[in-house]
Amino acid sequence: MEEKNERASEGTITLKKSDLWKYSTFVLGALVIVMAFVAFSDDNSGVTGNVVANNPTPSAPSAPTQPSQVTASADDDARWGSEDAPVEIIEFSDFQCPFCGRVAPTIEQIKTAYGDKVTIVYRDFPLTSIHPMAQPAAESAECVRELGGDDAFWEFHDTLFENQGALSETSLKSWAQEMGYDISSCLSSGKFRAEVQKDTQDAQAAGGRGTPYFVINGKPLSGAQPFEAFKQIIDAELA
């Protein structure tokens, strides 16, 4: 009898009834958790699959609609051409904006193609949050215009766009000096700061949200558009 008990103790593990009840409860609880997890995973995978199948790619947001007619004035800013021209192009621009520089040759093309049928007004719209030299460049051009008139302004305007990568307060004064104008005191005094800021406010009031922004006889045109885009509007105005 003792031999049987000894063998039993050597080859098996004996459990008390209380221990058996504890382990059974633990195993049952684990099974319930596993079954719940599997059911939850199956349900989620089905929903996710339906979403992917029904909408594989998100739709792009629609672009905001631009009004067909806006109000913008020439104010007292620099003008090329006659005030009496049948088509007036108001350009709100930024001397440090690369897209404004890119459209500058297109403006020259318009002058050549239409001559006295168009007049072009340049107004300032410096995006100071991303172009730190845009405001002083705009003010320096106003200083040059005060000393030399509109012709001097347009010459300086071309110089600024041709040298966008070298804009600095020193270079602005130097380029003006090469034209025969000392703008040091004018620029340091901030004489035309309010004028430039007013142009910016007028641009925004006319619907401008970026540069360059054009208003052609009240019709808005945004961005560095090709000559054909301007031609379509100008020809319609001349028809």
Q: Per-residue pLDDT tens for 193-213? A: 999 999 999 999 999 999 999
Centre a 10 Å sphere on the Cβ of residue 35 and count the other Cβ atoms it contains: 10
Q: Per-residue pLDDT tens for 80-119? A: 999 999 999 999 999 999 999 999 999 999 999 999 999 9
Cis peptide before 67 (omega within 30 of 0): no
d(CA 70, CA 140): 29
Confidence of residue 65 (pLDDT cuts 50, 70, 90): low
CATH number of 79-238: 3.40.30.10
Query: Residue 38: what are its φ and ψ, rounded to 5°?
Result: -65, -45
- With a pLDDT cut of 70, the percent of the chain lying above it is 72
Q: How many CA atoms lie within 13 A of 81 on its CB side?
A: 23
